[in-house]
């Protein structure tokens, strides 16, 4: 009787060969399923990114309904401006101004639009919204960086595009602040970037919907803004003009300035905005620095997402023709455009 039970037990057990075959089959199945799981996760991240852009565009639209114009990207005087327009340049950005329209008025109330960014307490500078972070890169809890704020004695360098960025460690001081992934469409490079008062970065010169504006000054303190862009100025059509999009941030540089700069700091246009057009394609090198710092770009595979000024969301190929990209960034160039080009 015992002998029969032992034989039955041996027959019900796996042999070593059978076990190895089962393990191999499981491994093959996991290998087949893993790409599908990864693709599903990327699709979910892209969908959340799309929703973030939609929420931002909706907030901008509500701001426009209340103020009859788009928010100023920041305060920035032009060289040679009279004293009544010559103040500002280090205050906060459009991403703070739209917070009340994103159910974040409590966060916005910590900011003073007439006070330099670096004068705000750290607990204000580091507080951000989950909507400002693309999940392909980070969560809101990870969206904090350390870097330089522009001050007296800051040294600037000129990139191949003609754009100027501050040299880390020269002048100014260090600070901690929130970083993020979505920037305003400041336009294209057609106004110029050579140090003239007509350069795109100075108040009123940008060709996008959300641009730097000259402040109206009272005793040298910015109290309001002068250059107001409204729907009527987007003569190319709201559906044919980018409003906001994903900013290129190099892999391996998250939280590090200037590659991943403070989005609420208005001392440098590339902290919170991007350009597109000839010489300024969408970034394709995910680790690209230098000239890539001023471009649109994402960590999605092969495309970058934008919200148009009518609120529609488009995934644009990274290989889009730069002339077409420039037309999408310029609100009033009078050129026909097709998102599918």
Question: Where in the chain are the domains?
Answer: 34-329
Average of per-residue pLDDT across 145-170: 74
**Can you name the residues that pair with 178 across neighbouring β-strands?**
144
| Parallel/antiparallel/unpaired status of strands 74-75 and 212-213 | parallel
What does the pLDDT look like over 165-215, one tens digit per residue? Answer: 777 677 777 889 999 999 999 999 999 988 899 999 999 999 999 999 999
At 244, the pLDDT band (50, 70, 90 cuts) reads: very high
What local confidence, expressed as pLDDT, does residue 39 receive? 64
The DSSP result for 257-309, as a single string, is TTTT--TT-TTSGGGTEEB-BTTBPPP--TT--GGGGGBB--SSSSEEEEEET
Neighbours of 252 (CB within 10 A): 10
The residue ranking higher by pLDDT, 262 or 268, is: 262
* Confidence (pTM): 0.87
What local confidence, expressed as pLDDT, does residue 28 receive? 80
Measured CA to CA, the distance from residue 32 to residue 25 in angstroms comes to: 11
SS3 state at 149: strand
| Parallel/antiparallel/unpaired status of strands 313-317 and 303-308 | antiparallel
End-to-end CA distance of the chain: 81
**What is each CA distance from 254 to 89, 260, 284, 285, in whole angstroms?**
25, 6, 17, 15
């Amino acid at each position: 009787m015992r002998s029969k039970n032992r034989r039955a037990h041996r027959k019900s057990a796996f042999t070593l060969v059978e076990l190895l075959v089962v393990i191999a089959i499981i491994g093959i199945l996991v290998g087949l399923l893993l790409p599908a799981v990864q693709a599903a996760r990327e699709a979910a991240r892209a969908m959340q990114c799309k929703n973030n852009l939609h929420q931002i565009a909706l907030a901008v639209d509500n701001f426009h309904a209340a103020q009859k114009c788009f928010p100023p990207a920041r305060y920035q005087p032009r060289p040679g401006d009279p004293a009544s327009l010559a103040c500002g340049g280090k205050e906060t950005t459009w991403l703070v101004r739209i917070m009340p329209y994103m159910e974040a008025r409590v966060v916005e109330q910590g900011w003073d639009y007439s006070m330099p960014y670096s004068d705000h307490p750290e607990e204000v500078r580091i507080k951000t919204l989950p909507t400002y972070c693309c999940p392909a890169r980070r969560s809101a809890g990870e969206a904090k960086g350390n870097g330089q704020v522009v001050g007296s004695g800051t040294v600037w360098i000129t990139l191949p595009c003609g754009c100027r960025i501050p040299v880390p460690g020269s002048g100014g001081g260090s600070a901690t602040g929130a970083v993020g992934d979505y920037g305003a469409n400041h336009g294209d490079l057609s106004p110029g970037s050579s140090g003239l008062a007509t350069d795109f970065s100075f108040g009123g010169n940008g060709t996008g919907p959300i641009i730097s504006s000259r402040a109206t000054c009272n005793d040298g303190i910015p109290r309001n803004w002068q250059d107001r862009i409204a729907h009527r100025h987007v003569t190319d059509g709201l559906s044919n003009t980018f409003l906001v999009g994903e900013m290129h941030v190099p892999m391996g540089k998250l939280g590090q300035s200037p590659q991943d700069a403070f989005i609420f700091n208005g001392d440098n246009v590339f902290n919170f905005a991007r350009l597109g057009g000839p010489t300024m394609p969408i970034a394709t090198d995910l680790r690209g620095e230098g000239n890539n710092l001023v471009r649109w770009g994402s960590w999605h595979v092969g495309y970058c997402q934008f919200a148009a000024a009518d609120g529609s969301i488009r995934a644009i190929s990274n290989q889009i023709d730069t002339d077409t990209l420039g037309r999408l960034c310029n609100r009033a160039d009078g050129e026909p455009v097709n998102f599918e080009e």
